[in-house]
């Protein structure tokens, strides 16, 4: 019998978790049974995600930065590429924050449900809120001071210090680029291997995802069985999807304005890669198809596509960044937390930088979300609210990630005079030439 795909297993885990939680909530002993015997497995699952957050960021980011061949690449093609990727990522996070603050999906929860959530996660929420309050009282440049660690090993002991780890990883990667290749090779090989090990650990953790989702949802339903919780979750899903659609439209706008290529030309050229990204939830797995479509069907010369797209698969996660911004604010709203402007600016910075080290594999976005939540002082236990719908949203945001990579490669090629006639026509004869 053919084994069910992981996303179907997760959806079944979600369904059974909801049903089990509803069933147990009908008995006097049910709630305590779930808390004592089911919820701990959900906690273990979240802890396993938090466990690999620091090594994932460190290995992925050092690898991504050190893959740049030299500083000259950073200043020419690399500078344009990274600049555009950062610009689109900042745009994605800003769009996400704007939409979630307008729709406010977490505010649809009743006071009663919110009180139940807060009581269920009282210790976690109180600790995070006190940290957030302390951050509000800090000076205007404190965030800049906190960015540079005095001791990297101390910084790696707390996921809340992830910006410091990101700063060190970027700084360390630049150092590897600047030293002779033969001396950097051993260190680079180590981080390449470490990155592969971490990606394999993510695979192993995601095998347990259906059971983790079951435990998280069962505990959530047993502790706060309310219909408005599902309403808020549906509204949250719609908010993320609206944001992702806005990003697709933003890419189309950039391509149309700067390359003068028709919208149909771009979409038809990249659509096979989009469909593969949707089905695999992996930018890395889609990369060979993305490179073929961009070079053969969109007219980007190979030296540009072979540089821009692999870097994009590593550091350009616009869909993931948008989702993290929406999810963080949604969880804060659900817990009744009022995020200040500085806290939301912190989310922009953290989500943007964390996306650089986000692995291009299924499930990595959830690990990065742990980082964003910790940095913003939002209860990490709120992951239980959104994990149920994470897999289908992961498929959608990966499609956005791949579309962003393709659009940036066309822009960079256009600026460098390396966007020509496609080798394979994917449109009719009236598609525009260079």
In this structure, how many other beta carbons lie within 10 angstroms of the beta carbon of residue 69? 12
- pLDDT attached to residue 91: 92
In this structure, how many other beta carbons lie within 10 angstroms of the beta carbon of residue 122? 11
Q: b vs e for 217-242, b when ≥16 Cβ sit within 10 Å of the residue's Cβ?
A: bbbbbbbbbbeebeebbebbbebbbb
Give 329 or 287, the one with higher predicted confidence: 329
| pTM, to two decimals | 0.69
Mapped onto helix, strand or coil, the DSSP state of residue 99 is: helix
- pLDDT attached to residue 253: 95
Helix axes 341-356, 122-136, angle to 10 degrees: 100
Q: Nearest CA to 188 among 75, 59, 57?
A: 59
Cβ neighbours for 361, distance < 8 A, ≥ 6 positions apart: 199, 202, 203, 281, 282, 284, 285
Instruction: Rounding to the nearest 10 degrees, give the CA dihedral for residues 308, 314, 315, 319.
Output: 100
Contact 326, 100 (CB under 8 A): yes
Domain chopping of the chain, boundaries: 10-415
Q: Nearest CA to 242 among 393, 16, 428?
A: 393
pLDDT band, residue 433 (cuts 50/70/90): very low
Residue 427, pLDDT > 50, answer no
β-sheet bridge partners, residue 300: 419
- pLDDT attached to residue 304: 80
Q: Is 407 exposed, middle or buried (0-12, 13-18, 19+ CB in 10 A)?
A: buried
Tokens 């943007």 -> residue = 352
Q: Average pLDDT, whole number, for the chain?
A: 78
β-sheet bridge partners, residue 419: 300
Q: Is 27 exposed, middle or buried (0-12, 13-18, 19+ CB in 10 A)?
A: exposed
| pLDDT tens per residue across span 86-118 | 899 889 989 998 999 999 888 887 777 767 666
Q: How many angstroms from the chain centroid is the CA of residue 130?
A: 26
- pLDDT attached to residue 1: 47
Q: Which fold has domain 10-415?
A: 1.10.3860
Mapped onto helix, strand or coil, the DSSP state of residue 167 is: helix
- pLDDT attached to residue 320: 84
Contact 282, 362 (CB under 8 A): yes
| pLDDT tens per residue across span 132-171 | 455 445 555 665 777 788 999 988 887 666 668 778 887 8
Over residues 312-325, mean pLDDT:
82
């Amino acid at each position: 019998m053919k084994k069910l795909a992981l996303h179907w297993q997760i959806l079944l885990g979600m369904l059974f978790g909801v049903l089990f939680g509803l069933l147990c909530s009908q008995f006097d002993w049910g709630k305590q049974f779930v808390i004592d015997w089911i919820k701990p497995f959900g906690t273990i699952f979240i802890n396993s995600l938090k466990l690999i957050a620091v090594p994932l960021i460190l290995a992925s980011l050092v690898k991504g930065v050190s893959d740049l061949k030299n500083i000259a690449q950073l200043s020419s093609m690399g500078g344009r590429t990274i600049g555009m990727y950062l610009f689109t990522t900042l745009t994605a996070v800003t769009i996400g924050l704007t939409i979630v603050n307008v729709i406010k999906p977490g505010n649809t929860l009743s006071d009663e449900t919110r009180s139940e959530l807060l009581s269920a996660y009282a210790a976690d929420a109180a600790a995070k809120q006190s940290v957030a309050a302390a951050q509000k009282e800090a000076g205007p440049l404190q965030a800049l001071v906190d960015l540079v660690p005095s001791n990297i090993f101390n910084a790696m002991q707390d996921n809340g210090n992830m910006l410091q780890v990101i700063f060190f990883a970027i700084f360390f990667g630049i150092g590897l680029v600047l030293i002779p290749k033969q001396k950097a090779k051993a260190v680079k090989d180590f981080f390449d291997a470490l990155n592969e090990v971490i990606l394999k650990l993510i695979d192993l953790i995601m095998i347990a995802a259906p059971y983790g989702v079951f435990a998280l949802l069962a505990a959530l339903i047993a502790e706060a069985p309310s219909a408005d919780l599902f309403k808020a979750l549906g509204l949250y899903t719609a908010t993320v999807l609206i944001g992702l659609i806005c990003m697709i439209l933003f890419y189309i706008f950039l391509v149309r304005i700067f390359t003068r290529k028709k919208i149909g030309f771009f979409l038809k050229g990249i659509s096979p890669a989009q469909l593969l990204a949707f089905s695999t939830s992996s930018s890395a797995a889609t990369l060979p198809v993305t490179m073929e479509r961009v070079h053969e069907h969109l007219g980007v010369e190979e030296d540009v596509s072979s540089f821009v797209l692999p870097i994009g698969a590593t550091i350009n996660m616009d869909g993931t960044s948008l989702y993290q911004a929406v999810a963080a604010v949604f969880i804060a709203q659900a817990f009744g937390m009022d995020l200040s402007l500085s806290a939301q600016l912190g989310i922009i910075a953290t989500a943007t930088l964390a996306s650089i080290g986000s692995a291009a594999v299924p499930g990595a976005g959830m690990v990065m979300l742990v980082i964003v939540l910790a940095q913003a002082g939002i209860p990490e236990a709120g992951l239980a609210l959104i994990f149920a719908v994470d897999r289908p949203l992961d498929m959608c945001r990966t499609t956005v990630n791949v579309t962003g990579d393709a659009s940036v490669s066309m822009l960079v090629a256009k600026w460098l005079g390396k966007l020509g006639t496609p080798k394979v026509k994917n449109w009719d004869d009236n598609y525009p030439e260079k």
